Amino acid sequence: ITDRSGGATIDLTAPDSITTWRLHAVSTSDTGLGIAESSLRVFQEFFGEPDLPYSVTRGEQFPVRIQIYNYLNEAQTVQVDLRTAEWFKLLDIASQQVRVNANSVVAASFLIEPTTLGRNSLEVTLRSPQRADGVRKEVLVEPEGTKRELITNGLIRSGEILRLDANMPAYIVPDSGKLLLNITPSLVAQSINGVDDLLQMPYGCGEQNMIFFAPDVEVLRYLEATSQLTPEVRAKAEHFITTGYQRELTFRHSDGSFSAFGESDGQPGSLWLTAFVLDCFSGAREITTIDDGILAAAGQWIASKQKTDGSWDPVGFVIHSDMTGGVQGNYTLTAFVTIALADYASAPAGVVQAAVKCLRDNMSKVQSDPYALAIAALALAKAGDSMVDAAIDNLLRIARSDANGMHWEPYAVETTAYAALALMEKQRPEANEAIKWLSLQRNSLGGYGNTQDTVMGLKALMTAARNQSRNVNLTMTVQDSRRETITQLTVDESNFDILQTVELPLQQVIELEARGTGEVRYQLVRRFNVLLSDQTVNKDMVLEVKYDADHVEVDDIVNVTATVRYMGLRSSTGMMIVDVGVPTGFDTVRESLDTLVEGGKVTKFEVAGRKVIFYLDGLTPREECSFTFQVKARFPVRAIVPDSKAYSYYEPDLRAEAMGEEIT
C-alpha cells in the first residue's frame, strides 16, 4: 500500500463512539522488517446519547431521554427535536431548548405512549450555534399479556400439496399474532438449531447436573459423526462436558455410588442415579477423558446391589422424581440398570447375564405394558440376547399407528424413544415410523413437554440422524388461501442441517407444495398473546407477585415479593423456575439478587430483558416459598408490569401465572 517514497495514506471511517484505537504498521524491505505502533483517540466534542429501556409494552407511557454532552469550552443553547411518527402518541411538546454548560451533561426528555408493535425507529436531532448531532434508535414495542403457541408438525413428500389451518384464535391480544413456518429435512436440525443455545453449562445437584450433561454429550457425538463440528463448538462442548463430569464427582460416595447431594446429607447412594451416571459417562468416553476407575467403582457398587434372581430393587432415592420418567418398580428399574451396564461393557462377570435372565423370565408379566416392553427390548438388544425379537414383536403388536408414524402410551415420548432405540439396535425398518412420530411431537424450541422426554427423545433422534439419508432436492412453495405464492424455499444437501424459518403474513389457511425429490419436516407455529384474568386458576400451584408501591419517584426502590405455593400430590415438583416481570424503566438491584442466592432462597438467577428468572430447588406438597428482591426506578413512567409465571423445570405443565400490575 506504500508509494515509491515509502509513504501511504488510508482513509477510514471510525465508529460513532469515544474510543482509543491502537494502530500497528508492519513493513518489509530488502534490508529487514520494520514495526511501528501508534494510537488514535476518536472523540466528539458535542453529541447526544439516548437512554431508553430494552423494550416497552404497548400502552405504557415512558420518557424518551437524551443525554446531551458538551465538551466545548463554552455553554451551548441546544434545540432538541423529536421526530414524530405514527407508531407512538406524543404526550409532550416535540421541540425544546436546553442550556448545556461547558464540559457538562444535561438530559432532555419527551413523554410518549407507543401504539404499534414491533421494532420502531426513534429519531432525535440536536442543534446549537456551533455543533449538531442526530440520534436514531430502535425501540421494541411488545404486546400486552402472556405468550401462547399453537403448533402443527408434519411431513411433506415430493409431489404432495397440504393445506394447513393457520387461523388465530378469537381471544388473542389485538395485533399480537405471528405466523412462523419452520422447514428442514433433518431429524435434528430443529433441536440443534443455534447449537450454542442447546449446549448448556451443567450445574445444580447431582441429578440436575446430569440432565444438562447428557444432551451435551449427544450433541457433540452427533456433530462429530456428521463432520459438522467446528473448533469453536468443540471447545465449548468439551468445556461443558468436562465441567459437568468434574462437578458430578463431587456427588460421588466413597463406595463408588452417586446421589443428589453426595455424602453431605447422610443418605445412601441412589441406584437410579448411579446407573444414569454410568450410562452417560460410558457414552462420553469417545469424546473426552473419563477415569476408568470411576466407572469400575460405579459398576461394582451396582453389581453389589443385585438380588439373587438378577433384579434390582430401588436403593436410595431420587429428589427430582420426574427425571426417572416411567422407571417405576422392579422390572423397569432392572431393565434401566441393564442398559447402563451393557453400555459400560465392563460389568463384573455374570451380572448382565443374570439381569437378562430376570428380564426374560418375567417378560410374560409385562406383555400389555408398552413402557416395560420397550425398555426391556432395548436392554435385551444391547445385551445381545435372542429374546429381543419376541419382545419387539410384542411391542409392535400393541403399537399405535397413524399418519404421523408409530408410538406407544403411556409416557408416549419416552416409551417411543426406548422402542425406537431398540428397533434401531436390531436394524428393524419399523424404527423409521417411531422416529417419524418422535420428530413430529416437538415444540417450537425443538424439545418436548418435560425433561426426561427431551433427554430420551433427543437421544433417539440423534442416533437415527447419524445414518439419515441426505438425498433431498426439493422446492417448497408456500401459498395463501387464494393460492398466491408467499415464498419459496429450496432444500438440498447443502442446507440439510439448517432450520429454515420464515415469518408469514397472517392467513386463515396456508398451502404447502413440494416438488423435486425427498421429503421435509415442517412446523407451523401460531404465536400470540392472551390477557390473564386477575386470578388464574390452578389447583396444584399458585403464584403471587406483589410490588410494594404503585406510585414511585425516580431513584425510588420498590420491593418485589414472589410467593409460590404447591398443593399437588406429587412428592416434589422438582426444580422450579419462577419468571418475575420487571417494569419498564426500572433496573434490578443486583445486591438484592445476590443476597437471595447467598441466603439459599434461590439456587441461581438470570436477568433477561424485562424479567428475572429464578431457579428453586423444588417444593413438596403444601410447601410455600417466598422471596423478595428490589428494583430501582430510572425515570418516570406509567408502566405495565409483564406477567409472571412459575413452573416445574421437569414438568412444565405444572405451572401457575400471575397478571402484571400497573406502576406509575
Q: What is the 3-state secondary structure (H, E, C) of 181-192?
A: EEEECCCCHHHH
Any idea which fold 146-185+470-530 has?
Answer: Jelly Rolls (2.60.120)
- For the chain, the average pLDDT equals 89
What is residue 485's predicted lDDT score, i.e. its pLDDT?
95
Segment among 210-219, 285-294, 627-636 with least mean pLDDT: 210-219
C-alpha cell at 431: 424404527
Number of Cβ within 10 Å of residue 262's Cβ equals: 19
What is residue 324's predicted lDDT score, i.e. its pLDDT?
57
- The mean pLDDT of 537-552, rounded to a whole number, is 86
- The mean pLDDT of 333-361, rounded to a whole number, is 95
pLDDT tens, 473-492? 999 999 998 889 999 999 99
What's the CATH code, domain 195-351?
Answer: 1.50.10.20
DSSP string, 352-399: HHHHHHHHHHTGGGGTT-HHHHHHHHHHHHHHT-TTHHHHHHHHHHT-
pLDDT tens, 315-324? 987 654 544 5
Segment among 103-112, 497-506, 545-554 with least mean pLDDT: 545-554
Which residue, 579, 506, 648, 530, is CA-closest to 148?
530
- The highest-confidence range among 223-227, 285-289, 335-339, 444-448, by mean pLDDT, is 335-339
Between 451 and 628, residue with greater pLDDT: 628
C-alpha cell at 26: 508492519
What is residue 198's predicted lDDT score, i.e. its pLDDT?
58
- The mean pLDDT of 501-519, rounded to a whole number, is 95
The angle formed by the CA atoms of residues 129, 106 and 64, to the nearest 5 degrees, is: 100
- Same fold flag, 46-142 and 541-663: yes
Which residue, 607, 643, 599, is CA-closest to 625?
599
C-alpha cell at 629: 428482591
- The highest-confidence range among 133-137, 351-355, 437-441, by mean pLDDT, is 351-355
CA neighbours closer than 13 Å in the CB half-sphere of residue 621 = 5
Any idea which architecture 541-663 has in CATH? Sandwich (2.60)
3-state helix vs strand vs coil in the chain, percent to 5: 30, 35, 40
Distances (CA, A) of 536 to 544, 645, 647: 10, 11, 14
CA dihedral (442, 447, 451, 457) in degrees, to 10, reads 70
Distance CA 83, CA 466 (A): 55
Whether residue 185 has a cis bond before it, omega within 30° of 0: no
Between 473 and 572, residue with greater pLDDT: 473
Examine the pLDDT at 231 and tell me if it is beyond 50.
yes
The angle formed by the CA atoms of residues 308, 314 and 317, to the nearest 5 degrees, is: 155
Distance CA 241, CA 236 (A): 9
Phi, psi values for residue 176, rounded to 5°: -90, -10
Between 385 and 41, residue with greater pLDDT: 385
Distances (CA, A) of 313 to 329, 349, 553: 8, 20, 62
DSSP string, 398-454: T-EEETTEEE-SSSHHHHHHHHHHHHHHTT-TTHHHHHHHHHTS--TTS--SSHHHH
- The mean pLDDT of 547-576, rounded to a whole number, is 88
Phi, psi values for residue 520, rounded to 5°: -135, 155
Examine the pLDDT at 337 and tell me if it is beyond 80.
yes
Confidence class for position 535, pLDDT limits 50, 70, 90: very low
What's the CATH code, domain 46-142?
Answer: 2.60.40.10
What is residue 197's predicted lDDT score, i.e. its pLDDT?
54
CA neighbours closer than 13 Å in the CB half-sphere of residue 390 = 10
Task: Kindly list the domain boundaries of the chain, sorted by start residue.
Answer: 46-142, 146-185+470-530, 195-351, 362-456, 541-663
Q: Which residues contact 231 (CB under 8 A, 6 or more apart)?
A: none
